[in-house]
Amino acid sequence: MKPKILMTRAVFPDVITYLAEHFEVESNQEDRIFDDAELVRRMHDKVGLYCNTSQRVSADIIAACPSMRVIANMAVGYNNIDLAAATRAGIPVTNTPDVLNETTADFAWALLMATARRVTEAEHWLRAGKWEKWTYDGFLGADVHGATLGILGMGRIGQAIARRAKGFAMRVIYHNRTRLAPHEEQGANDAQWVSKEALLAQADHLVLVLPYSAATHHAIGAAELARMKPSATLINIARGGIVDDVALIAALRAQQLAAAGLDVFENEPALHADFLTLSNVVLTPHIGSASAPTRRAMAYCAADNLIAGLQGKMPPNLLNPEVLPRK
């Protein structure tokens, strides 16, 4: 008899077929979001959990699912999973890094350009039938070429974003807890490490690429926004909760900041309604990795992690290797 697994969200049908070669699969192609009680009920006889960031896997859920042996998250971020609780329970947890670096970096630039040049604001105005003549001051935005690009969180995606700045002749500055090695800085368009305070003060366009954790919660709040240039733009492609959305709304409304481009929000998908009243913000529904090849690669990466883990092998993208027996 094949081991049983649960897939909590809809996914490409061929991925289900691929997993069905190894497991008895319970899938959720109707794509309902399971509450905690339903997740526990569905996991009662399952050994594997295939999920994404919309599915919370808390310590209580882990404790209530004693048969669970592997959790495969179809995402790079894993703040939806209580990793410490899974580790205590001896459950390997995996994610899907690297396969989405370039696609997400592409989207960061799409959001940056749309924000700097007021693309969505201008499109809404045009669609409303308001375009009657060209004017010298119509939708004046910010230049990207020759500007200073700031990156907060210089991991793989941050470095991919920085490489793209070369074509715009931009100065790149960044802040990370750990400074990159010299060859990594050189490869990231000669990026310069600066303090967080200097990053906020100097960046013309600031891109957030931090992982979410208790330590990075509201890493950008009212005090940080006050240090930025009034002409600056803020781009968040990382995670909701890194930015204090209430503070950002106040800064945008007061024109303390020129504009923001946001792909992620606190409490998404229930974003703060006041964002919808602002013209100087570009809003997208967490689609940074949403190209067809990349989402497919993520889905198969998560599947391979689950297969390896349930076969007793080292999963390719294991987040908590301490759960494996020492050799």
Strand arrangement of the beta sheet that strand 281-283 belongs to: 192-193, 171-175, 148-152, 205-208, 233-236, 259-262, 281-283
Q: Is the pLDDT of residue 251 over 90?
A: yes
Instruction: State how far the Cα of 251 lies from the Cα of 152, in Å rounded to an integer.
Output: 19
Question: Residue range 166-171: average pLDDT?
Answer: 98
Q: Which domains does the chain have, with CATH numbers?
A: 4-97+292-323 (3.40.50.720), 101-283 (3.40.50.720)
> Does residue 116 carry a pLDDT above 80?
yes
- Per-residue pLDDT tens for 142-156? 999 999 999 999 999
Q: Return the pLDDT at 326.
A: 59
Q: Give the Cα separation of 318 and 327 in Å (integer).
A: 17
H-type alpha helices, the chain: 13-20, 36-42, 59-63, 83-88, 101-116, 119-127, 156-164, 182-187, 196-202, 222-227, 245-253, 292-310
pLDDT digits (tens, 9 = 90+) for 257-309: 999 999 999 999 999 999 999 999 999 999 999 999 999 999 999 999 999 99
Look at residue 324 and tell me whether its pLDDT is greater than 90: no
Q: Provide the pLDDT for residue 325.
A: 78
What's the pLDDT band for 237 if we cut at 50, 70, 90?
very high
How much is the pTM?
0.93
Confidence of residue 327 (pLDDT cuts 50, 70, 90): very low
Q: What is the mean pLDDT of the chain?
A: 97
Predicted confidence (pLDDT) per residue in 174-225, tens digit = 999 999 999 999 999 999 999 999 999 999 999 999 999 899 999 999 999 9
**Residues labelled as active-site residues:** 239, 268, 286
- Burial per residue of 45-71, b for 16 or more beta-carbon CB atoms within 10 angstroms, e otherwise: ebbbbbbbbebbbeeebbebbeebbbb
